[in-house]
Structure 1
Amino acid sequence: MANIIGSPERYVQGRGILGELCKHLQNIGKAPFILVSESGKGRVKEPIEKSAKEYNTKLSFEIFQGECSRNEIDRLVNVYKESGCDVVVGIGGGKIHDTAKALAYYAEAPVVIVPTIAGTDAPCSALSVIYTDDGAFEDYLFLPKNPNIVLVDTEVISSAPARLLVSGMGDALATYFEARACMQSNSPNFIGGYYTITSMAIARLCYDTLLANGIQALVSAQAKVCTKALENIVEANTYLSGIGFESCGIAAAHAIHNGFTAIHETHQCYHGEKVAFGTLTQLVLENASPEEFEEVINFCLDVGLPTTLEDLGIHEIKIDEIMKVAELACSPNDTMGNMPLTLTPEIVCDAIIATDRLGHYFKAKRL
């Protein structure tokens, strides 16, 4: 099997770039099918319509129903085929991105991804995470290619709630550690090959950028201003993490996230928040050095990522529920098997409990 790195055909990031959407569409489509939430449409419609007028582009907006599920994808495929459109544009957060990519795949159309938050690494990948209509993890849909264009307006992202940027940092935090685990176990990546030295370097750069710019970017997001630190974190959350995870692979952190979707109380948390706790648990499973673990957990505490089960909404720890999380995380169709260790649900359950206690310990040290 070859060493393969995947990426979108074009990545465009900058202030006010949403107003150039139709300019960037010119080579792939003239009639965009824009998938967006009801609230998101109100925020992005004006600059897009201005761009459409300049480039004589016909727009069709479709409201996303809230879940990247098989039923929603099937519904959208039918609507798209009747619309006369020739390119899919997904504007919003991770579930809209994944739905737009799946829609484009089944409709045999090009796709443009436009994040309005830097909350996940979904925009750049050739992957859609499929959930049930109720929001529980169901499966991964592996796509034959990455998006044609990823268009990131940092002015839009800087005005989004700061918690979403932090969630993106949580998702990005896993990238290097899961890449390292896949390298050690010689596990394949998401695109039918193995890591390259470039993809491993990107994964490491993602982590280094979080440490160097995370706190400053959080402060900028809280003030709703676009600084160089915020620009760097947007790129880390979106591009570096996206290329890093897809081209290197994922392991325990995301598997544990998927397990937590079975506990209703955690549904209040964003994807990256649960992934951050999964990253800490992965480090416990690996028996990471005290220095490394402290660096990661202190970063989480600095920016406000979860370090305890209580932070995830679990106020009463029930061992049978945590064991269910561990069992799902260790299921054959998930990525726990990419760890360079032999792990059982019992071992993972114990590691989750230990991570929770460590989280309380490090929080107490700050009092």
Structure 2
Amino acid sequence: MEFEKLVRGEPGQYVASQGALKELPARLSLFQRPVIVTGQVAYAAFVKHYGKEADWSVLFYDRTASHEDMDRLADRARQLGADVIVGIGGGKVMDTSKGVADRLNVELVLVPTLVATCACSTPLLVAYYPDHSFKSIDYCQRSGFMTVVDYDLLIDAPKEYLISGISDTLAKWYELEAIHRGKKRQELPAMVQLALATAQVSQDILLHDTEAVLDAADRKQVTPAFERMVDTVYAVAANVGCQTSDYVSGAHALHNGLTVLHETHEIAHGLKVAYGILVQLCLTGDEDEVRKLLPFYQKNGYIYRWDQLGVTEDRLTAMQKVAEKATVPTESYVNIRADITANEVVAAMLRLEEVVEAAHG
């Protein structure tokens, strides 16, 4: 079996509580020379809740999550004698840290500072070119040793990243369902059945809890719903991808296509994925589901139409660029149907505009 097709594990330990950062020295006591990989903003958030500067060496990434930066940081961490990499930050820091640990063949501890993706719990990483356009998905040799989740730190993070994390997680169900639609669930491999069931659980929690969670975020109050949502974005969503390699399809392919447009680089990953969900649903003929989701999108701040992306280029020209990137043979639209074309994706984007316009009318 190909390496990337293997069932993969989540972190060896998932530590989640209010004030969990206070336990970090004890959690790292097994190691001699931890080295932190982080970003400037993430590290400031860590220091605020940890209560002081870290006692370990700190390296700052260049915000690209590129192979070039992973190589640079791995060389520096090797010089420092690192026996564990401690990634502190959002998704790109998590993925950069995985790349560094994989290059050094050492253990990995991840401390997320944003509820934006499941990156802190998955044994794969998304790599970009130095210009921030999507490059590849890389599969790590080992899963993380530990993920440390501090709800107090996370409730203090910018709300827009939480919104992004919710939509990125919502995609798990829609992408996985599209891949296996038309197949008898009882005849699917056991791990795929488990992934589908897990994705359904995540969708139920998201649609039920989002309003209460965003209210808690506004009040900066850790509630049971907030904790449940964090664990869903991090651990439940990650479990879907760990059980089956074929779980990503149209929504993430469209996200990757959008990275060719520089205006989208500052839009959170999950918000681009949210738009990709609706495009995928239009592509697969599920317009009733689009109409069902639109009130949820509009109420909670998700992207559901082209002009929300802020792209200045001619719409059809830009859409064609996105669609061509999203439908290259290595992209995940092929998990839905092998022969999906760029023109079909453009048509789906245009059809979404019509559905949204009709719903507003």
1:123 to 120, 124, 131: 120
2:284 counterpart residue number = 286
1:241 counterpart residue number = 237
Q: How does 1:183-198 map to 2 (within 5 A)?
A: 183-184=180-181, 195-198=191-194
Are positions 1:81 and 2:84 aligned together? no
1:22·1:51 contact (CA, 8 Å) conserved in 2? no
1:161·1:222 contact (CA, 8 Å) conserved in 2? no
- 1:316, CA displacement in angstroms? 5.7
Deviations 1:280-336 (A, max 9, x none): 11111111261x323322222221110011112135652122111111111112111
SS at match of 2:16: strand
SS at match of 1:350: helix
Query: Higher mean Cα deviation, 176-185 or 266-275?
Result: 176-185
Are positions 1:68 and 2:86 aligned together? no
C-alpha distance in 1 between matches for 2:355 and 2:313: 17
CA gap of 1:252–1:79, structure 2 versus 1, over 3 A, is same
1:26 counterpart residue number = 29
Are positions 1:275 and 2:283 aligned together? no
2:310 counterpart residue number = 313
1:330·1:344 contact (CA, 8 Å) conserved in 2? yes
SS at match of 2:148: strand
1:189 counterpart residue number = none
SS at match of 1:268: coil
Q: How does 1:195-344 map to 2 (within 5 A)?
A: 195-248=191-244, 249-288=247-286, 290=288, 292-314=289-311, 317-340=314-337, 342-344=339-341
Structure 2 gaps of 5+ residues are 184-188
Are positions 1:169 and 2:169 aligned together? no
- 1:3, CA displacement in angstroms? 8.0
Deviations 1:49-90 (A, max 9, x none): 7797xxxxx511111211101111111011000112210011
SS at match of 1:114: strand
C-alpha distance in 2 between matches for 1:164 and 1:74: 28
SS at match of 1:96: helix
C-alpha distance in 2 between matches for 1:50 and 1:170: 33
C-alpha distance in 1 between matches for 2:32 and 2:22: 16
C-alpha distance in 2 between matches for 1:273 and 1:222: 19
SS at match of 1:91: strand
Query: Higher mean Cα deviation, 158-167 or 309-318?
Result: 309-318
C-alpha distance in 1 between matches for 2:69 and 2:53: 29
SS at match of 1:255: helix
SS at match of 1:196: helix
C-alpha distance in 1 between matches for 2:148 and 2:193: 26
1:44 counterpart residue number = 46
C-alpha distance in 2 between matches for 1:352 and 1:300: 16
**One-letter amino acid of the counterpart of residue 278, structure 1:** G
- 1:115, CA displacement in angstroms? 0.6
C-alpha distance in 2 between matches for 1:276 and 1:348: 15
- 1:99, CA displacement in angstroms? 0.3
1:107 counterpart residue number = 104
2:19 to 16, 22, 29: 16
2:123·2:140 contact (CA, 8 Å) conserved in 1? yes
**One-letter amino acid of the counterpart of residue 321, structure 2:** K
C-alpha distance in 2 between matches for 1:257 and 1:132: 15
Aligned residues: 351
- 1:202, CA displacement in angstroms? 1.2
2:291·2:355 contact (CA, 8 Å) conserved in 1? no
* TM-score, normalised relative to structure 2: 0.91
2:186 counterpart residue number = none
1:183·1:195 contact (CA, 8 Å) conserved in 2? no
Query: Higher mean Cα deviation, 197-206 or 325-334?
Result: 197-206
1:265·1:313 contact (CA, 8 Å) conserved in 2? yes
CA gap of 1:359–1:6, structure 2 versus 1, over 3 A, is farther
Q: Percent identity?
A: 30
C-alpha distance in 1 between matches for 2:62 and 2:102: 19
Q: CA RMSD in A?
A: 2.2
CA gap of 1:300–1:12, structure 2 versus 1, over 3 A, is same
